Amino acid sequence: MSAGDALVANAEVMTPEHVFRGWVRARGGHITALGTGAAPRPCDGERVIDAGGLVVAPGFLDIHVHGAAGRDMMDGRESVDAVAAFLITCGCTGFLPTTVTAPWAETVRAVDAFADACAHPPAGARPLGLHLEGPFLNPARRGMQPAEHMRAPNAADAAALLSSGRGWVRTVTLAPELPGALALVSVLGARGVMVAMGHSDASYAEAVDAVAAGVRRATHCFNAMTPLHHRQPGLVGAALDLDALCVEAIADGVHVHPTALRLLWRVKGWRRVALVSDAMAGAGAPEGAYRFGGQDVVVRGGEARLADGTLAGSVLTMDAAVRVMIAAGVPPREAVGMATLAPAEAAGLSGTGRLVPGYAADLVALDGGWRVAWTMVGGRLAWRA
């Protein structure tokens, strides 16, 4: 027996494709078996965890997160570790540390630190790769991102960032309508990077071209992109319409109205909507003044804003996002799927996000109010309420 061996019994198992009363067995950090009904007899020394009827689901995956617990991950490795330690308390077992557009040297340093965290993971939630949100964005849809550090899409800059990322860059968000963007999409796709479009002024036609070039995801759908108009469907129209696209949704009820979140789920289906936090340092920390993207941000009333009122990231956590979707009318199993399997597929993460043999034994147990009771990473209990 090793520390990653466990038998979770008496659980409401949510895979998330199916739900049944049963058990899950982990060996060496991976799921080896699961089944309905009473758990099999434990092996010698196997740790048995009685879930007491709680829902046991794959751990949540946050594929778009900048900070939490008072820390901005652009500040370096220590901040990544602090965020990982906080996210595990929110049921999140894996995440993609996400850059924000910043001075070039700062971006390279952050990418290097993120890659180090992926290669030598901290305690808590596991960094599973990087998401580069910028610098290839459109200033016209900058949101809170600093336009002065944005760059025209080009292969040389991308190669430099991929090199600093040492194989850990999983997602690049770019604006596909910028000159040179579609060529870069091909380059990134050939390197196995999932390309998402966001902070983009693309028309519907330009978004269709982007999908033809290999873009497969829309970053924080509805936010910082051309909206849906019935004569000009825009990027939102493309995101809703094109089956090839998954979408991210910041499900805090602030960035996107609950009705729009529900519409997104109705049109795309749960498996193509990845809930993301887009959280900044103020998540899981007292309200007040913060820095984000080199700017002053005030967190008040659960909203993070620049002085001019522009939303600047969120204070959302993945467990809260699931609760927002359930409150919006999405069946719990599908809401959980939008925080597990959907983000895994949207970011091209293999071996995580569902409960099947061979996948990581990364689990979250949820109570009747969809609050986190405990979290398991690699078959080991990582946190308990």
- Residues in contact with Zn ion by CB under 5 A are 133, 278
Measured CA distances, 338 to 275, 283, 361 (Å):
6, 20, 18
- At 180, the amino acid letter reads G
- Which is nearer to Zn ion, 5 or 133 (by Cβ)? 133
Closest to Zn ion by CB, 139 vs 269, is: 139
Look up residue 101 and give its DSSP letter: S
Give the Cα separation of 341 and 14 in Å (integer): 11
Least Å distance, CB 200 to Zn ion, is 13
Instruction: State which residue, 25 or 216, has the beta carbon closest to Zn ion.
Output: 216
Contact residues for 230 (Cβ-Cβ < 8 A; gap 6+): none
Based on CB atoms, which residue is closest to Zn ion, 222 or 359?
222
Q: Of 201, 209, 252, 278, which one is the catalytic site residue? A: 278
State the minimum distance, in angstroms, from the CB of residue 256 to Zn ion.
Answer: 14
CB of 273 to Zn ion, least distance (A): 17
User: Which one, of 278, 281, 319, 320, lies nearest residue 297 by Cα?
Assistant: 281
Answer yes or no: are the C-beta atoms of 158 and 169 closer than 8 Å.
no
First to last CA, the chain: 26
DSSP state, 273? E
Cα radius of gyration rounded to whole Å, the chain: 20
Smallest gap from residue 130 Cβ to Zn ion (A): 13
Task: Round to whole Å and give the CA distance between 199 and 211.
Answer: 16
CB atoms within 10 A of CB 263: 16
Compute the least distance from the CB of residue 98 to Zn ion, in Å: 6
Q: Which among 204, 303, 221 is positioned nearest to 268, based on CA atoms?
A: 221
Residue number of the CB atom closest to Zn ion: 278
- Least separation in angstroms between residue 281's CB and Zn ion is 13
CA triple 108-151-72, angle to 5 deg: 45
Nearer to Zn ion, 117 or 279 (CB): 279
The 8-class DSSP code of residue 252 comes to S
User: Which one, 201 or 278, has the nearer CB to Zn ion?
Assistant: 278
What does the block give as tokens for 22? 């049963």
Q: Count other Cβ atoms within 10 Å, centred on residue 218.
A: 31
Tell me whether residue 278 is one of the annotated catalytic residues. yes
State the catalytic residues. Answer: 278
